[in-house]
Structures are given as C-alpha cells and as structure tokens.
Structure 1
C-alpha cells in the first residue's frame, strides 16, 4: 500500500485583530469614564456662575452645608472638628489645593470661617465649585 503525503498542510491560526480592536475600545472607554468629575452624594444647591470653568478635581473635596455640617471627603464634622483634624494632619496638606462645594444659601461669614481654617492649616489654593450657567442666545 502506497501512502501519499499531502502537499498542503492545514494551517490553523487565530485571527487576533478583532480581539485587539475590542480590547483597545474597552481601554479607551475606561480611560474616558474614569476621568469624569465625581460629585459627592450630598444634595447641595451650588451657586451658578456664567464664567465658571471645569478644572481638574483636586484629591481633597470639602462640602459645606452649614457651620455644623461639613464633609471632608465622606467624613462628617463641624467647623471646630475640621480645624482640629487639619491641625493634626497639617504636614499632609501643606501647599495643597482643595475643592470646596458649598450650598448657595450658606452665609458669607461661614464661608470666610471655612477658608480661614483651611489657610491656617496649610492649604494655599481653593477651587470653589459652581454650576455652569448656559447663556441663551436669541429670543424665546
């Protein structure tokens, strides 16, 4: 019996191009979705400003509802407790910026007190968060 050898050998290859395309699109999706501005879960009525600009969010966010209700990240405290906490961690916050979210109805004196506590404890810049007011052109 004579055995003939096949001249054309089957070559099995996995086409990786579609898989690479999917992985590349997933990487882009997660890069874009992770850079979105994160907001706290507080229901604050932020003041509006036509000249407000989006800035890169700092790693430290302070939400001020009242003199007795201030959130540093997710930790609730009073203004006095905030001053003590920042005094204990003064070196950690030296020359850092902070984003401040404050309710629009917050008294001016309370905001000055908060800014004073921040400056005395090493913060050198504060981003005041406001809602963007979109101007309408034309008549309604």
Structure 2
C-alpha cells in the first residue's frame, strides 16, 4: 500500500544572507575607492622623491597654463583670481584646513609666487603643493 504525504515540501529561498553579502560588497567598494578631487584638468605635475599625501580640502587651485587658473573647477585669469579668492567662503583658521595648489611643471616660478601672495594676503597661510612621487635610483 502506498501512502501519500499530506505535507508537500516547501522550498523557501532565504534572501537575507544574499542581501548581507551584497551590502558588504557595496560597502567594501565604497571604502576602497579612490576619490579624485581635481576638477578633471589633466596636468603634467612636477616630480619629487619626498612627496607625502595631501588631505582632501575644499579649496583647490589648479594652474593649467599662463592664462588659466582654476579655483576648484571655475576658470579665472591671474587678474580675476584675487577677487575670486577674496570672495571664496573657506575658513583658513580651521585646524587642519589648507589650500591645495597644483600646477603643471612648466609654469613659471613667479606665477606660483604671485598666487601664493594672493593666498597669504587673504589669510591662507597653509598651502600644500601637489607633486608626483618620483622613483629614486639607489
């Protein structure tokens, strides 16, 4: 005699472990991603063997060429840069806040000094210069 089961086996897929794994992968990739703060301007930066990391900041000045200077992603000329820096809302007295200055390696030294003077005149004394790490042959 053949008996039939009254209860049919129910197959239930538990999605909780799958959701946990996907969430952990999303968090891993978010934490391990490198965020580029430059405004999309390609520069050939000067090299230095003593380069250190620069903290992310709200004020980045990029010198692309002799005619164009970017304050974050907005282009200015050397004549309009002082007014833009003066009107920029950034507190230079905050601990750990500094201005990041990056320029192409063929920019004249006098232009960098002029930008540093504009920054110091407006109270920005902490300025970090961006360079590429060069390989030292020993």
TM-score by length of 2: 0.79
Q: How does 1:1-140 map to 2 (within 5 A)?
A: 12=12, 14-33=14-33, 35-89=34-88, 92-95=89-92, 96-137=97-138
Q: Please, what is the CA RMSD of the aligned residues? A: 2.4
In 2, the alpha carbon distance for the partners of 1:66 and 1:15 equals 55
Evaluate the alpha carbon distance shift between residue 43 and residue 8 of structure 1 in structure 2; reply closer, same or farther with a 3 A threshold. closer
What is the rounded CA distance, in whole Å, between the counterparts of 1:37 and 1:29 in structure 2? 15
Q: Can you list the C-alpha shifts for 1:25-63, whole angstroms capped at 9, x where unaligned?
A: 111101221x43333322322110000012222121110
1:121, distance to aligned residue in structure 2 (A): 1.2
Q: CA deviation at 1:15?
A: 4.4
Taking the aligned partners of 1:42 and 1:8, their CA distance within structure 2 comes to 65
**Aligned partners of 1:94 and 1:121 also within 8 Å:** no
TM-score normalised by length of structure 1:
0.78
Gaps of 5+ in 2: 1-5
Query: Is the Cα contact below 8 Å between 1:62 and 1:70 reproduced in 2?
Result: yes
CA–CA separation in structure 2 for the residues paired with 1:71 and 1:62: 6
Give the Å deviation of 1:23.
Answer: 1.1
